[in-house]
Structure 1
Amino acid sequence: MSSERNLGDSFQQYFEITPALSQDDREDVFRIRHEVYCRDLGWEPLRADGMETDAFDAQSVHCLLRHRGSGMLVGCTRLILADATQPQALLPFEESCAEVIDRRIADPAALPREQVAEVSRLAVMRDFRQRKGEQQSALAVGADDFEPRGPQSRFPFIPVSLYLCAAAIALRLGREYCFVLTEPRLAAHFSRIGFDIQTIGGVIEHRGERAPSLLRASKVVGEMRPLIRPFYEVVEASVNAAYARQAGGAS
């Protein structure tokens, strides 16, 4: 068995990821966000129902990561879909980064709104971000995770799987232009494994230093390195299976 195949198999051994298409799954996403954003980090106020939500959730597709076997909640993210019928309705990053976006690189306002989305609300439960320096961050990533010391040596399965899930959903829904407000170091780390995140503007202060970045869904998938492709195929299969189940239930 090739080392490339082992990366996908290793992920499946420990984790399962899916679009949160059911109400139960969406509520699990909101519980993760409450634990991380409200209880752990204090970025949002505590909610009586133990679920962190906002106005953009209604126009989002959510990703949910669980630990296989135990069913423990691990992490989540969401893909906010721009509303093509209301082009004046801005996504969160368009408001917070209005003054720093370099529109010569990418101008969200000039793109077809039906192809635009934003990846946001990435969160990983405390039990899965226990290394030094991770307690004050919603996402568990370290520079050592991206060192080329073998296909599985400290590979960052959790954050990469969440981004891959968002990319697979974006590709399926025709959302080519996926923007994300992220730490500059994270974009640099991901580029080292061939996951292209292009910085499109200056840094703002938003729970730490963040910069607006762009992922082209077709480029991320089309130019994926052989190391990552079997991993992506596992995630993509899970995305497709979830939508197939939803379609079957609706018929």
Structure 2
Amino acid sequence: MKHARIAWAGAVHDAVEVDGQLELQTPAFKGRRVGFDEVVWLPPLAPINRPRTVLALGLNYADHAKELAFRAPEEPLAFVKGEASLTGHKAFTVRPDGVNFMHYECELAVVIGQPAKRVKKADALHYVAGYTVANDYAIRDYLENWYRPNLKVKNRDTCTPIGPWLVDAADVPDPQALALRTTVNGTVTQQGNTRDMIFDVATLIEYFSGFMTLMPGDLILTGTPDGVVDCQPGDVIVTEIDGIGSLINTITSESKA
């Protein structure tokens, strides 16, 4: 099932996708259906399970590491992101005035469903609630260390759109067999497949839960393949993962935000 979180009629609602519409789950509007264009899309995470921790992978696709002239890492390279960086489907992302290179990153995002501590790889996927699409923008002007990006590279408000859906883990038989693609103004600029991750989803859960407890709502952004390009104000970016969804985002300038 595809779950969404939306603002409509002055309130925030949980919803599910039914026959190309959003069916509201809020008790007062239970069963009411609204169109995709009638709502404001929010990150598809309920308040009780909103992310406590957002873990993001760097260089988790060998082709992307090669694109940046780096060797593939021998263990996961991860950094922590703030929840305030998250925004929803069809939202605007602010490009700071004066920067030279800001690029998208199409990523499979893993949503943890139950506390996970010292989980074995063979059991790891049982701890996943579902999956969504993330677009983890990076501003290379601020980049001083590829292995550990500083806060200004990845943690700016509006710079991590996610959604539109949270797809139940049961509906994703194999998270390592999903095609990814990105278009900029309708032109395909990035293509890849989750099978090419250096560290797959189960390995990442085993790794992180080995030294920290993962909690319901925690997010793991699993990295991006090669093919990133600079994005300018006015560009419409669509990051898409087969079976998970198409996340639409538009770049705006800082002076117009």
Give the TM-score range, shorter chain.
under 0.3
Identify the structure with bigger relative contact order (alpha carbons < 8 Å, sequence gap 6+).
Answer: 2
Structure with the larger helix share: 1
Structure with the larger strand share: 2
- Normalising by structure 2, report the TM-score: 0.27
- Normalising by structure 1, report the TM-score: 0.28
